[in-house]
Structure formats: C-alpha cells, structure tokens
Amino acid sequence: MVVKRIWLSAISLLLVAGVLSACMQTNYRSMDANAEIATPFSRDIFYQVADAFHADPPECVFVLSATNANMPLELTALIEQALALRLGQKISRVIGPRERRAAERILALDTRNEVDRRYLARAEQCPTYLEWRLKDFDDSHFFVWSRKQIGLEVRLARSADDAILWRAAHTTSRSDGGLPLSLMSLPLAAAEATIFNQDTDQLPSMIGDVVRRLVVTLPDVR
C-alpha cells in the first residue's frame, strides 16, 4: 500500500512536470506591458526599440560597467563579456570592457560620469553606449533544493544626449533537487541539489541565455 502511494505520488509529479514543460514558452513583450499579463512558467522578455534607432542606426557601441554599486568583479566580467560578444552580432563595432578600461586609463576618464562618457565617445568615434544593471540575483540552497536566478536590464543610448535607442529586460532561473518521496530518496535529492549549487558552469550558462534573449530583440544593423 505504501509503495502504491509512492508510485501514485511520483506519477502525479511527472504529470505536473509535463504540463509545466508544455506551458514553457518564450514571449517577447513591449517594455510598457503590464507584468500581470505574463504567463506563469514562461520566459518573458520585455523590450522597446525607439524610432530614433531606425532613424540613425548605431555603427559603434561601447559597453559600460554595471550601474549597480559593489557588484562582484567576477560576475561583472562575465556579464560585460557576454554583452560585448552578442552585440558584435548586431552592430558593426563594439568596444568591449577590456578596450574601454584601457581607454579610461589612458585618457583618465570615468565613464560613469556623463561628461567623461561623451569625451570617450568623441575620442573613439563611437557615439553610442550600452548601460546595464543587475535586476535580479538569487543563489539559494536548502539541503534538498537549490535555485539560481539572474536578471538583467539593458539600455542602448546616444552619448550626445543620453536618448534611449533600445532597452530590454529579462530574468531566468534554474533549480534542481526537490521534495523527496521517501527516506530512501532523501540522499538523492540532497545530492542533486548540492551538485547543482556547486556547478560553476551554471551561472555563465544562465548569463549567456539571458543576454542572448535580450539581444535577439535588437535590430541587426551591421
């Protein structure tokens, strides 16, 4: 009888997982859309392309550092590199984090300051910049369940007047482990959760997913 209940519980969980998987889809929505229209368990990417983008498509963009204060350097580097790589597939010239930092040192600039940002734009003949911030971040581990979440908001703007040409936002999450169905399954759930939590490839992979989905909404002007 106990075995039967366990099997019924397992089948129920599998059915729920199947339904959720079927519901999982990627939705591209207007940046001004009401968050309440988002479908549960879906991937929602919010974006907006301004008319000014099409009127004068950017030929060059430099990637700024995060607007968040006290961002971990390793996380900042992963996100900046991912953004520079993906932007290069849409815009002819991209000044990535290494080149930007070199220019900041040589010219004694701080691109968080709009005056210095405009000076760099003129010096490098690169009139557009990408500004980004960490919108969501979570790295939770509760013995039998682990979850990671990361969300970004990005803005492409003209240095001359800070007019926004394109903006987008997206959050993704992953988890592993789960509620054990018996004492025998408890060690397995704990092991799965721990392995997931300690997997150093998860975060770079998630950053890649978020950035890819964001940049998909940017028109190709190469």
Rounded mean pLDDT of 132-150?
84
pLDDT of residue 183: 64
Q: How confident is the model at residue 3 (pLDDT cuts 50, 70, 90)?
A: very low
Highest mean pLDDT: which range of 14-18, 156-160, 193-197: 156-160
DSSP 66-97: ESSTT--HHHHHHHHHHHHHHHTTTSSEEE-H
pLDDT tens profile 170-196: 999 887 776 666 666 666 666 667 776
CB of 134 closer than 8 Å to CB of 150: yes
Domains of the chain: 27-32+42-215 (3.40.50.10610)
pLDDT of residue 10: 38
